[in-house]
Structure 1
Amino acid sequence: MGEDQELPRYRVLTGPDDASFCWRVSEALDLGYELHGSPSVTFNGDRVIVAQALIRRQDV
């Protein structure tokens, strides 16, 4: 992404519970996001799916 101003303040990442999902969350943390609440986990009959909300604080 470009400048920080282009990043949304809130986002939810979802996907299979695998290393790729962990890397996506880690990249968001590196961009200045913070975890918002606990992850949600469900099973879709084939694999475990995870969702994690993230927020990015703005200087007021």
Structure 2
Amino acid sequence: MKLYRFLTGPDDATFCHKVTAAVNKGWHLFGSPTYSFDADSKTMRCGQAVVKDVEGHDYEAGVTKLSDF
């Protein structure tokens, strides 16, 4: 199965660590990162899509937990 996640976070080191952790768990960057202003919190927010191929498992909506992979 192919899994997809969209990671988001504030424009600081925590976001970079979140993406780094995903890459080190076998996730691959997918597309370009995003960057936008959050008017409510008056801060910049980052986003990055990641994908991962997992053999031997079938995806089931509502059952498959992305955090398990």
State whether TM-score is above 0.5: yes
1:4-38 deviation per Cα after TM superposition (whole angstroms, max 9, x unaligned): xxxx7110101101100100000000000000000
Q: TM-score, normalised by structure 2?
A: 0.68
Moved more, 28-37 or 49-58: 49-58
Q: Percent identity?
A: 40
Q: Where in structure 2 are the equivalents of 1:1-60 lying within 5 Å? A: 9-45=3-39, 46-59=42-55
CA distance in 1, matches of 2:3, 2:25: 11
Higher strand share: 2
Matched residues, number: 53
Q: Please, which runs of 5 or more residues in structure 2 have no aligned partner?
A: 57-69
Q: CA RMSD in A?
A: 1.8
Instruction: Find the structure with the greater CA-based Rg.
Output: 2
CA distance in 2, matches of 1:18, 1:48: 9
